């Protein structure tokens, strides 16, 4: 594996919750195999919180805040991780990050253009 993938000079981080959600939605063995291959081929940094218990508590609090919109664990994990990593931005095609989800402080989710 070479240098990490970077966007605007910062490494692209990957959360386990995102891999889990992707696996769930891929409905064939070949697609799931390709997901595994991509996670091995593309040099991404796996991200884990320094305080897993605190992170989990914050994720549950965020989920409760947006309960009426039916958020999932992956989206909440991304938001809370973004809030904990100074200067981070989210790369997504999910329109909820633009239209519905907010950071824990109420601000807009910083997105990669």
Domains in the chain: boundaries? 6-99
* Rounded Cα gap, residues 49 and 15, in angstroms: 10
* Mean pLDDT of the 25-36 span: 95
The predicted model scores a pTM of: 0.85
Q: Quote the distance between the C-alpha of residue 3 and its chain's center.
A: 21
Quickly list H helices, 1-113. Answer: 16-25, 29-41, 52-65, 73-84, 96-99
Answer for the pair 74, 21: CB distance below 8 angstroms, yes or no: yes
What pLDDT digit, counting tens, does each position of 48-99 carry?
899 999 999 999 999 999 999 999 999 999 999 999 998 899 989 999 999 9
d(CA 64, CA 18): 19
């Amino acid at each position: 594996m070479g240098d990490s993938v970077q966007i605007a000079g910062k490494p692209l981080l990957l959360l386990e919750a995102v891999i889990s959600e992707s696996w769930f939605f891929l409905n064939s063995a070949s697609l799931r195999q390709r997901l595994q291959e991509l996670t091995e081929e593309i040099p991404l940094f796996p991200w884990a919180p320094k305080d897993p218990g605190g992170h989990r508590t914050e994720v549950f609090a965020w989920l409760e805040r947006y309960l009426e919109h039916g958020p999932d664990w992956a989206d909440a994990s991304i938001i809370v991780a973004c809030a904990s990593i100074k200067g981070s931005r989210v790369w997504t095609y999910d329109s909820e990050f633009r239209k519905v989800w907010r950071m824990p402080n109420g601000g807009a989710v910083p997105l990669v253009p």
